[in-house]
Chain A
Amino acid sequence: AQSVSQHNHHVILSEAASLELGCNYSYGGTVNLFWYVQYPGQHLQLLLKYFSGDPLVKGIKGFEAEFIKSKFSFNLRKPSVQWSDTAEYFCAVRGYNQGGKLIFGQGTELSVKP
Chain B
Amino acid sequence: GAVVSQHPSWVICKSGTSVKIECRSLDFQATTMFWYRQFPKQSLMLMATSNEGSKATYEQGVEKDKFLINHASLTLSTLTVTSAHPEDSSFYICSAGGASTDTQYFGPGTRLTVL
Give A residues with C-beta under 8 Å from B.
34, 36, 42-46, 49, 51, 90, 94, 96-97, 99-107, 109
Asked if B104 and A102 make an inter-chain contact with CB atoms under 8 angstroms apart, the answer reads: yes
B10 to chain A, nearest CB (A): 12
CB-CB under 8 A from A97, the residues of chain B are: 100
Quick one: given A42-B108, A106-B43, A107-B42, are A100 and B97 in contact (CB under 8 Å)? Answer: yes
A106 to B93, CA, bound (A): 16
10 extra A-B contacts, CB within 8 A, seeds A100-B49, A101-B98:
A43-B109, A44-B106, A51-B101, A97-B100, A99-B32, A100-B98, A101-B49, A102-B34, A103-B46, A104-B46
A100 to B99, CA, bound (A): 5
B38 to chain A, nearest CB (A): 9
CB-CB under 8 A from A103, the residues of chain B are: 46
Interface residues of B in 50-99 (CB under 8 A from A): 57, 93, 95, 97-99
Asked if B43 and A100 make an inter-chain contact with CB atoms under 8 angstroms apart, the answer reads: no
Quick one: given A101-B34, A104-B44, are A46 and B103 in contact (CB under 8 Å)? Answer: yes
Give B residues with C-beta under 8 Å from A.
32, 34, 36, 41-46, 49, 57, 93, 95, 97-109
Asked if B107 and A100 make an inter-chain contact with CB atoms under 8 angstroms apart, the answer reads: no
Specify the main secondary structure of chain A where it touches its partner.
loop
CB-CB under 8 A from B95, the residues of chain A are: 44, 102
Asked if A100 and B102 make an inter-chain contact with CB atoms under 8 angstroms apart, the answer reads: yes
Asked if B44 and A90 make an inter-chain contact with CB atoms under 8 angstroms apart, the answer reads: yes
B77 to chain A, nearest CB (A): 14
Quick one: given A42-B108, A43-B93, A43-B108, are A100 and B34 in contact (CB under 8 Å)? Answer: yes
Asked if A90 and B43 make an inter-chain contact with CB atoms under 8 angstroms apart, the answer reads: yes
- Sorted nearest first, the 6 A-B pairs with minimum C-beta distance are A100-B98, A44-B106, A43-B108, A104-B43, A104-B44, A106-B43
Q: List 28 A-B contacts (CB under 8 A).
A: A34-B103, A36-B106, A43-B107, A43-B108, A44-B93, A44-B106, A46-B103, A49-B103, A51-B101, A90-B44, A94-B98, A96-B100, A97-B100, A99-B57, A100-B97, A101-B49, A102-B34, A102-B44, A102-B46, A103-B46, A104-B36, A104-B44, A104-B46, A105-B43, A106-B42, A107-B42, A107-B43, A109-B41
